[in-house]
Amino acid sequence: MRQIKLTEETKKDILTTLLKRSPSQYPEYEKTVSEILNNVRNNGDKAVFEYTEKFDGYKYDENTIRVTEKEINEAYNNYDKELIAIMEKAFNNIKEYHEKQKQNSWISTKEDGTLLGVKVSAIEKAGVYVPGGKAAYPSSTLMCVIPALVAGVERIVMVTPANKEGKVADCTLVAAKICGVNEIYKVGGAQAIAALAYGTETIPKVDKIVGPGNIFVALAKKAVFGHVSIDSVAGPSEILVIADDTANPRYVAADLLSQAEHDQLASAILLTTSKELADKVSAEVDIFLKELSRTEIIEKSLENYGYIILCDSIDDAIDAANEIASEHLEILTKNPYETMTKIKNAGAIFLGEYSSEPLGDYFAGPNHVLPTNGTAKFFSPLSVDAFIKKTSIISYSKDALKEIHTDIERFALSEGLSAHANSIKVRFE
């Protein structure tokens, strides 16, 4: 891996390079996505079936596009029982973690007859996009569905592409069954997002769409935002490791490569104060590249977005990490908990040498749908909050309003809104 010295100039160059991976940087695809969205919006099922045949190579109609209960059960019955048991353990861990995020409605009252509060309620329909093109991700099914279940969403609609034989990956169907989801449609890409956003004769319109996908999915989600809610516009995966001379170089190298294998746009960065560690990590990377299965993808990822950055101090490394605001941040320092207190921006933080990033991807409990491309500065991981909405509650007695009615009237008139003022005034004429 390339090694560079951390300076203001190199930090700026890296940030510029990483931001080029954002879905917003691919305007050449936006026209295609817009055409797909408009076609599905205007022609419903007909457009969805045509795009599915064109892109996925299988011809559907309104009777075959939905996964049947028989298909789900066959996938479950034929699947590796040990893997099912592992998924069920992961389900329980993820559910237990997200149940701690639940919020309750509340009411506050005063003796003068004032009542204020918040009513917390779940959205009615959620759409979950599960990738299924180059690879299947049952973990994404668990991570997207479970927060919706915990929030109390009544109807969860899943969309995922099938293969050319019209079959959805068994692992995805098994994960869906474990979550109790049985409304699954065999459609992917921008057309799937359009179907969820606008509704078709077969696929229902939802209130919110969540889940990762390729550039077409990301741009489609961005385009329909406002018509429906979305979780985020996700970019390629990324990992950043802060390490000092106490870190195990083999562990660091393995963790960097765990994200580099996702795709050629993935980013893997090490910030370290130790030149010795940097050299050893680079050597371990070379060793692993001879052993791992997705070497071509990893090499391209590291060539474009892989860095070992030498820092004068841990504080300099922390400042750089806060600027990069990585999706995944591992801290492998002498006192990782102390280092963590200075981190302001990260999607998920992994502390210590036995908390490698895949622990969060599959099993620990926190959600793996995380902000990317620096958006951890203002976005959070997918959570139960994403599937609830809050409604304000306001109730005043006559005596309570009487005390303040002239204040409200004057405030309204200062904005030139006499009807606002009059709405209060008429009650005390």
Which sequence positions are flagged as catalytic? Answer: 327-328
DSSP string, 359-392: HHHHTSSS-S----TTGGGT-----GGGGEEEEE
Would you call 346 helix, strand, or coil by DSSP?
coil
Here the tokens at position 64 are 């075959």
* DSSP H or E segment with residue 268: strand 267-272
Would you call 225 helix, strand, or coil by DSSP?
strand
Tell me which residue of 163, 117, 169, 103 sits closest to 140, measured CA to CA. Answer: 169
Report which residue type is found at 217: V
Would you call 139 helix, strand, or coil by DSSP?
helix
Buried b (16+ CB within 10 A) or exposed e, 315-338: ebbbbbbbbbbbbbbbbbbeebee
Distance, in Å, from the CA atom of 107 to the CA atom of 392, rounded to the nearest integer, reads 10
Report which residue type is found at 2: R
Distance, in Å, from the CA atom of 176 to the CA atom of 349, rounded to the nearest integer, reads 28
Distance, in Å, from the CA atom of 85 to the CA atom of 82, rounded to the nearest integer, reads 5
Residue 367 near residue 143, CB atoms below 8 Å: yes
Tell me which residue of 30, 142, 36 sits closest to 91, measured CA to CA. Answer: 142
Distance, in Å, from the CA atom of 193 to the CA atom of 216, rounded to the nearest integer, reads 9
Distance, in Å, from the CA atom of 145 to the CA atom of 126, rounded to the nearest integer, reads 9
Residue 246 near residue 273, CB atoms below 8 Å: no
Distances (CA, A) of 116 to 180, 321, 391, 395: 37, 41, 11, 6
Here the tokens at position 399 are 């005596």
The label of the residue with tokens 């506050």 reads: 108
Here the tokens at position 279 are 């050299």
Distance, in Å, from the CA atom of 419 to the CA atom of 413, rounded to the nearest integer, reads 9
